[in-house]
Chain A
Amino acid sequence: MTAGPAARAAARMRPGTGLVRWLAAIGAGLAGFALFVAIAGGSPAAALQAIWSSTVVDAVGPGEVLVAAAPVILCALAVAIPAWAGLWNLGGEGQLVVGAIGATVVSQALPSSLGSWAALPLLLAGGAIGGALWCAIPAVLRVTVNLNEAISSLLLSYVALRLLDYLVNGPWKDPRSLGFPQAEPLPDGHRLGGLDWLPVAGGGRLHTGLLIALAAVAAAVVAHRHTTWGFRLRVVGGNGEAARRGGLPVKRLIVGAMVAGGALAGVAGMVQLSGVEFQAKGGIAGAYGFLGFLVSWLVRHDPRWIVLAGIAIGAVRVGGDALQIDANLPAASVNVLLALLLLAILARGRGRRRSA
């Protein structure tokens, strides 16, 4: 940086500068996205129109955004909690998938006549345990052979995706699915209830998974700033060597943080299974793990801001689906918009720290 600290502080204090920069970042992101759509032979106006109407104008739009936000928020917490202890969990995708597998295992083991008040907590536990176990692998490898958890959790995601492929193509394949690789649909009692009484739902498919995500955020906020555990994790994250010499059980704290994070990603898998898809199938991961990672990093792993950022990213996700349906573009093309917006924020230097 050429500008000195004093000059930077002055720039920060000038009224309106921050807002102008935010608007410039958003404008640059939208312009870049429109350019790529035009190059690909699509209509930028139609694409932006599809994103806008699917998230804001349509009656079900805001509700759909919240439906997508729930797994993003949970996966963001799955990154944030290990990050307090200085760990990178890049495997939310795989933990979500194993969570969905765990919930499906529980669902198949339960009698379908069991009431939802008993079944849903058990499915939730199945999801949490699945995600926790999957995340325990990189955690244990980290504390035993010092293998970098970012790399191992990332690679394990691909293993989890193949495992799900195997299950829905093989032992779990629904004979009535007309050849589609998907498991049998969940019985009604194993599905999360709707929140259609909320005005924001617009009569859409908003479900109680959102409340599960919000409860998890509340618990994380308390744990982060108001519990000994959260404090200890932050000490480990701040200076692991000092924490060890200070007598903290660093290894146990590291594994605990990863397992807690994995459990929350697993809950995201259960929420997607019981609230959206209603059956195990290949696309259930939906990049929510990676989106959660971006959210957590964007808010510097502070759970207080995860809800807001999660809703914003959820809106991008819904916009992507609308591109496919309304503008005849691949759903993944919305990633251009997402990435350009995030790059514009990055280039503002918000994450500026000493050069690595």
Chain B
Amino acid sequence: MIEAVLAGAVRGGSSILFAALGETVSERAGVINLSTEGSMLCGALAAYATAVETGSAWLGVLAGAAAGMALAMLFAAVVVFRAANQLATGIVVLFLALGVTSLLGRDYVGQGVDGFTRWDVPGLSDIPFVGTVLFAHDPLTYLALLAAPLVWWLMFRTTPGLMVRAAGERPEVLVATGHSPNLVRLAAVAAGGLLAGIGGAQISTALALNWSENMIQGRGFVAVALVIFAAWNPMGALAGALFFGGIESLQLQLQAEGVSVPADLLNALPYLATIAVLVLFSRRRLHAAPDGLTSVFETSP
């Protein structure tokens, strides 16, 4: 059972991981995008519809990434260039995503799809225990696990990453070196939406293998919360996403084993667990927040 729970943690956590990595990039640039949830929804539908129409799940992922990015760029245009409130705009753009996906997705509800299937890593998947946990998943799961160190490297070891961090901490440095902080923020939010879109694509074409209205069910919000837990570090996001995936997977295993706790209450467990880890870790995390984020939570007009 432990093996099954851990394998489920890796598989289920990876879709959240895409979104959490994307939100990390976005928040490092000083923009909180609550519409990560919306980007996941758009990614899920675009990927599903494309996979159904073309028969190619990989084309679906491309479409999902593009859809997630398009929504995030709309959000960024309003927030960065019109200086509108980030939280409110995030909710508005999420409503747009809810509406558009329910409208355009109505014909796909209940339709089958040839989605991603398990691809065992040759050789490695035969290792007892570790093989099942790490090397027997759909291709997008491996992509997510590789994306975490890649995003870390991009953020902390390359010039574009430095520019993104400067946009969130010291925008005047960017101005002094002849760059536009707003353009950097736009690019960071767009990249965040792209990753969230892939996460949504994974949910519809690799995990659930169906499409239903509002199917993301708050996972995008969880991703935003995990970024705080991760202290805005991509490798921390990896840990957080595996934790959320683990609780989700444990909950499903308990249901399968016929534990007497009702399924609806177990379904609440991942959200409660996310709040719990935030409580445990929040005190020492806050100082890690990019400077640009502090003003986001001002409510006074």
Contacts and interface: CB of A to CB of B under 8 A. Distances in A.
Interface of A: 36-37, 39-42, 83-84, 86-88, 90, 141, 145-148, 150-152, 154-159, 162-163, 165-166, 169-170, 237-238, 290, 293-294, 297, 300-301, 329-330, 332-340, 342-343, 346-347, 349, 351-356
A353 B83 contact: yes
B103 to A, nearest CB: 4
Interface of B: 30-31, 34, 74, 78-80, 82-89, 91-93, 95-96, 98-100, 102-104, 106-107, 182, 213-214, 217-218, 221-222, 224-225, 228, 262, 264-265, 267-268, 271-272, 274-275, 278-279, 282-283, 286, 292-293, 295-301
The interface residues of chain B, by DSSP majority, are classed as helix
The interface residues of chain A, by DSSP majority, are classed as helix
A36 B100 contact: yes
A333 B295 contact: no
A90 B292 CA distance: 21
Given A147-B282, A162-B268, A330 B103 contact: yes
B289 to A, nearest CB: 10
Contact of B292 (A294, A336, A356): A356
A353 B88 CA distance: 13
B262 A169 contact: yes
A332 B100 CA distance: 8
9 contacts: A36-B99, A154-B221, A159-B268, A159-B272, A290-B91, A294-B91, A343-B93, A356-B86, A356-B293
Contacts of B93: 339, 343
Contacts of B278: 147, 151-152
B165 to A, nearest CB: 16
A40 B292 contact: no
A158 B103 contact: no
A237 B301 CA distance: 10
Nearest to A346: B84
A5 to B, nearest CB: 15
Given A152-B275, A158-B218, A355-B83, A336 B96 contact: yes
Nearest to B79: A356
